[in-house]
Structure 1
Amino acid sequence: MSGSLRGQHAVVTGAARGIGAAIARTLAAEGAMLTLLGRRRDALERLATELPGSHGIVVADIGEAEQVAAAFEQARAQRGPVAILVNNAGQAESAPFGKTSLELWNRMLTVNLTGSFLCAQAALPDMLAAGYGRIVNIASTAGQRGYAYVAAYSAAKHGVIGLTRSLALEVARKGITVNAVCPGYTETDILQDSIANVVTKTGRSEEEARAAFAASNPQQRIVQPEQVADAVRWLCGDSASAVTGQAISVSCGEVM
């Protein structure tokens, strides 16, 4: 790694596991000072001990406006103004459209879309004051196309991409870039839960269910969290300063 982000304060939400943990490891290796934000202190503390350098931990629910405001004040007090925000926290739940409750709908919008909105609003003043910033929203291929049985999740991730494009236009001349990374099926707990759901409902073996997910893309592979993290690393660096408002698919060719 080049250390190209040395000294920059990066807030990573949903940092405790999966894609978030991979992003945290990648940015720390590039020299960034991290605030690891999530809901489970024990998991965040375990991750922090694995990373090079000294990093902060903030426990908050990104769907709660007051908690987000307090979290960013704490992050700022620990590590200084925020230069990089990675909105990674998210959740996926499935249900047929006719059985999608309003509670499920609101939950998917809150954690996947409203949380990104609240965190971006909290981080943006530091970036505007500095004339520099990077916001990377972790969306999904579900934000680039539709999937059956995840209407609420897909609608939320489409919203994340719309938020990305609109905010990118507002700050385009202020030294700030705003982009989305859209992973396909990725080796995370969410995928494991989806595989278990298929096994339970269809009677397929775990191997058959996994193969079916992999078959959804031309490479017939499952994306690895580190591959998503590397796209985030690039977008946070100076070499991507001319890239903004984009939804970059990391999906083994599923979305072209």
Structure 2
Amino acid sequence: MQQNADLHTHTTASDGTCEPKENVRIAKEAGLAALAITDHDTVAGIAEAKEAGAVLGIEVIPGVEISSVARGQDIHVLGFFVPYEDASFQEKLVGLRETRHERNKLLINKLQELGIAIKLEDVYKRKQGTDKNIGRPHIAEELMELGVVNSIEEAFDKYLGKGGAAYVNPPRITPQEAITLIREAGGVAVLAHPGLYDDDELVKELIEFGLDGIEVFHPDNSQNQREVYRKWAEEFDLLVTGGSDFHGWRGEEPFHAMLGSHTVHADVVDSMREIANRRRK
């Protein structure tokens, strides 16, 4: 049996299309030993995933992907072994989701200014339940349905991603504040997909500030970037993590990549657990 872990996956608790238990089932089929549930600014999917993991023999690492902003772009910080059942920690995430909602409204407004007949209420109908943790992929789906774009990738390239015609960035916490939030809660802070930011000076600043690790193996990191970030991890004694950033399926294709396609050895999970245990003593 493989002893690998996929440390970056999303569920219907945020902008994934699979229920948390489905992520666990896929991890089992992929022969993984562990996976992390790292939904955007919420821990709502973790309890269900852990229950499924107990049945299927898969370790589920409670995680979160916190949204922050630096130098005009989104910066995401992964938190592992976070206290997902703690009310005060959950409350801190509520404010982050409210900012996400404001960002969505601004995005829709800009799309409307571009002459696109998209409505906020139609986007929000795409997610069931009372906790409307809507992300840009939901907006991209609506753009596809309206015939504005042919794919999620095109929606991000033309409109929603950095440099897109409707890209917006409302005030959010800084990545330094995100790192502090995770560490003070007893979790482990890792910079998500650093290759996306095109700002290695910022990556270095965050390493010096107090990151515990860096996501080296991610579908959006080039081979050259992986080599650079692995070298920095060794130099600064950081954890080397990796994950697929699986969001389920958009059409017939997995988004961003198939669960289990980007992994690290499960020893990394043990190292994370040791850090988290030390912080909570």
- TM-score range relative to shorter protein: 0.3 to 0.5
Q: TM-score when scaled to structure 1?
A: 0.35
Larger RCO: Structure 1 or Structure 2 (Cα < 8 Å, ≥ 6 residues apart)? 2
| Bigger fraction of residues in helix | 1
